Amino acid sequence: MRGKIVKGIAGFYYVHVPEHGVFECKARGIFRKEALTPMIGDDVEIQVVDPARKKGNIEKILERRSELLRPSVANIDQALLVFALHQPEPNLQLLDRFLAMVENAGIDVVLCFNKADTEQGSEGEALEEMYRRVGYHVLVTSALEDRGLEPLKKVLHHKTTVFAGPSGVGKSSLLNLLQEAVSFETGSVSRKIGRGRHTTRHVELIALDKDSYLVDTPGFSSLQLDDFSSQDLKDQFIDFHPFLDACRFKGCMHLKEPVCGVKEAVRDGKIHPSRYENYKAIYEEMQELQKNQYPRKTDKNRR
C-alpha cells in the first residue's frame, strides 16, 4: 500500500494511507542500507503486518520532490503566507521580504489576508488587486466569521502546504477551522493546534483529505529558508521581470543606474511603488548586514 509519513515518534513512523487510515510502521526496507532516513512528508510503500492493529513496515521511500530543513518536511508543494488586514496591521515590507525568500527557495506561494471582518473600507480588495497584479494568487479570509474558507480549501487541495506568517494573524485559527471541517466530515476527534508550550515538538502533517496535507507548525520562525545575497534580491521580485530588457546594463540593480526598465515601469504605474520602495529598503538592509558580517580590512585597521 502507498501512503505518506505524517508523524514520527521514537523509531515509529505513522503512515497515512488514503481511505485506510494511519499505520504505525517501522523502517525495514532496503533503503536502510543506503543510509536513507525517512522524513515526514515522504511518500512510501508499506507492507501491512497486522491489519487489525494497523501495523506495518516501510518497504520503500518514493523519490523526494523537495526537502525542507526547517520544518524538516519532504515534498512540500506550497507555502500559504498569512497576513491580517488589521490587528496586526500588515507589514508589506516583511511580506515582500518573505515572498523573495520563498521565490529564492523555489516554493510556490499563495497569499492569504485574514481578519476580513476587521476591515473598514476595501483594504482587502486593494491588497488583493495589488498582489494579484504582481502575479500571486491572493485570498481574503476571516477565521472569525468563516469567510473565504472554500477558496482556501480549494488551493490546499492535492497539495502539502506549510502555513507561515507573523504572530497573531490567525494561522492557528485557520488551521483549526480547516481541521474541524475534516473532523466533522470524518467523525474523528479534532486536535487543537497549540504551540510554544513544548520546545521539542515534532512536525506533524494533518491529513485534510486523501491527498491534501498541512504542516502543523505555522509561524514565521518555523519556516526557515536559505539566505541569499543582496545582489540576487532583484531576481526574486517577479513583477520586475517583464521590464528587464529595457535596462541598459545587464546586471542592473534598478537603483542608481541610468536607463532602467524597472524604474521606468514604477514611474508609469506598471510596478506598484510600494513593491519598489520595499525592494530598495530590503536591499539596503541586506547590504548593511553583509557589511557587518564581512567587515573590510580597512575598517578593522581603523580601530
Ligand X SMILES: Nc1nc2c(ncn2[C@@H]2O[C@H](COP(=O)(O)OP(=O)(O)OP(=O)(O)O)[C@@H](O)[C@H]2O)c(=O)[nH]1
Q: How far is the CB of 293 from ligand X (least distance, A)?
A: 28
Q: How far is the CB of 135 from Zn ion (least distance, A)?
A: 18
The 10 Å Cβ neighbour count of residue 241 is 12
Q: Is 115 annotated as a binding residue?
A: yes
Number of residues that bind ligand X (CB under 6 A): 18
Single-letter amino acid code for the residue at 216: D
Q: How far is the CB of 173 from ligand X (least distance, A)?
A: 3
Q: Which residues contact 70 (CB under 8 A, 6 or more apart)?
A: 222, 223, 224
Closest CA to 6 of 35, 47, 39: 39
Q: Which does 138 bind (CB under 5 to 8 A by kind): Zn ion, ligand X, none?
A: none
Q: How far is the CB of 195 from ligand X (least distance, A)?
A: 6
Which residue of 15, 247, 265, 266 would you call a contact of Zn ion, by CB under 5 A? 247
Establish if 115 lies at the interface with ligand X (CB under 6 A).
yes
- DSSP-based three-state secondary structure for 271: coil
Strands of the 160-164 sheet, one edge to the other: 137-140, 108-114, 78-84, 160-164, 212-215, 205-209
Establish if 179 lies at the interface with ligand X (CB under 6 A).
no
Which residue of 172, 179, 236, 278 would you call a contact of ligand X, by CB under 6 A? 172
Q: Which is nearer to ligand X, 46 or 112 (CB)?
A: 112
Which residue of 78, 173, 183, 190 would you call a contact of ligand X, by CB under 6 A? 173
Establish if 260 lies at the interface with Zn ion (CB under 5 A).
yes
- DSSP-based three-state secondary structure for 77: coil
Contact between 49 and 56 under an 8 Å Cβ cutoff? The reply is yes
Establish if 190 lies at the interface with ligand X (CB under 6 A).
no
Q: Is 25 annotated as a binding residue?
A: no
Q: Is 168 annotated as a binding residue?
A: yes
Q: Which residues contact 33 (CB under 8 A, 6 or more apart)?
A: none
Measure the CA–CA gap between 252 and 231, rounded to whole angstroms. 10
Chain mean position to CA 208: 17
Q: Is 41 annotated as a binding residue?
A: no
Closest CA to 178 of 200, 197, 159: 159
Closest CA to 160 of 241, 214, 85: 214
Q: Which is nearer to ligand X, 203 or 286 (CB)?
A: 203
**Binding site membership for GTP: which residues?**
114-117, 165-173
Residues found near ligand X in the complex (CB under 6 A): 114-115, 117-118, 142-144, 165, 167-173, 195, 218-219
**Binding site membership for Zn(2+): which residues?**
247, 252, 254, 260
